[in-house]
Amino acid sequence: MKEANQGFGTIAIHAGNAKDKSYGALTAPICQSSTFVFDDCAQGGRRFAGAEGGFIYTRLGNPTTAMLETKLAALEGAEAAAVTSSGMGAISAVFWTVCRAGVHVIADSTLYGCTYALLSHGLTRFGVEVSFVDTADIAQVKAALRDNTVAIYLETPANPTLKITDIRQVCDVAHNFNKNIRVICDNTFATPYLQTPLALGCDIVVHSATKYINGHGDVVAGAALGANDFISELKLFGIKDMTGSVISPHDAYLVLRGLKTLEIRMDRHCANAKIIARYLSENPKVTKVYFPGLETHPGHAIAQRQMKDFGGMISFEVKGGKEAGINLLDNLDLCTLAVSLGDAETLIEHPASMTHSTYTAAELKKAGVPEGLVRISVGLENPQDIIADLERGFSRI
């Protein structure tokens, strides 16, 4: 849990840190070991039996990854965390832990493309039924609930339309129907600095730690957070037995490094995004801007209530549709044409042909994702330089 009276930045830097007793290193050493030595057979047996704490094998736990888990749990207000080798590793491990043949899952229709593929094409192979609804419309959530519903899964802000779902409302409806339903929220776009879904009633939070949490474009990682009992089951079944999605100690170390600046990076991402969103909303070559910080966004009021700020992600449509949007992307210099998000660099992409290519045209339409949509992850550059590059791009189409 968060330390009393300490700010987010302080917790991000100090929570969970273990002193280096050997040399007094300020930065925690990387424990690059696959296995750990027991004092004797009896100790090894006790650890395997769960009667004694301590490390056994890095697939089951490691001092460096444990430090990252403690820090993330403190920031999200969770009892425990499990870090994984990717965001999809975390999401897959959660669903393997929650689901079994014959159960039902409700998921938002607007999701990251690989998450959508897991739910629509993956879990359904194993006897799990999935209903896709608009979780921002609580009537649709209520109508989809069944006696065998075990989970509701959503993103807010959603990828790539920045749709906002009222987290508390969904949690109240789910838990009033059945207190055992797990509400799972992907908090990647917001990070725990801007939004804490567990405090709003969610049971499980997942992240692609590749994105803002690491923030430097040099790590692929994920995390799942929640109650102690669930995270223990997730580690011993969802990760150990089912996915094997184990983060390396070196990658955990890099994410620990990135977390030290999460607060100040997010402040800059948010400030830049507001400037860029305003520019795009006033640009005659842009027909629509998707950004929860704009009062015209349908989820603006909810975002104000459940988020500290509006994040660094924007999507928009260019006058002329898909062809014009793609021409814009091909005529930028500073804004980098690449998928992923949350890096220091401004990244821009075309969801329909890239991150959301797992959707069919009909599925994109149902999810509210126009085929010409452009998604931009606003970076840490000076905002006037980002705007100047966009201006050059617009002038070339």
Positions annotated as catalytic residues are: 59, 112, 186, 211
Regarding beta strands 347-349 and 374-377, do their DSSP bridges make them parallel or antiparallel, or are they unpaired? antiparallel
At CA 212, angle to CA 1 and CA 307, rounded to 5? 60
Q: How many CB atoms are located within 10 Å of the residue 130 CB? A: 21
348: DSSP letter: E
Ramachandran area for residue 321 (φ above 0: left; ψ -120 to 50: alpha; else beta): left
Query: CA 275, CA 283: separation in Å to the nearest integer?
Result: 12
Q: Are 115 and 88 a contacting pair, CB within 8 Å?
A: yes
Four-residue CA torsion sign, 152, 157, 160, 163: positive
Report CA dihedral (98, 99, 102, 105) to the nearest 10 degrees.
Answer: 80
Supply φ then ψ for residue 157, to 5 degrees: -60, 145
Residues 6 or more apart in contact with residue 46 via CB below 8 angstroms: 52
Helix (H, G, I), strand (E, B) or coil at 113: helix
3-state class percentages of the chain: helix first, strand second, coil last, to nearest 5: 40, 15, 45
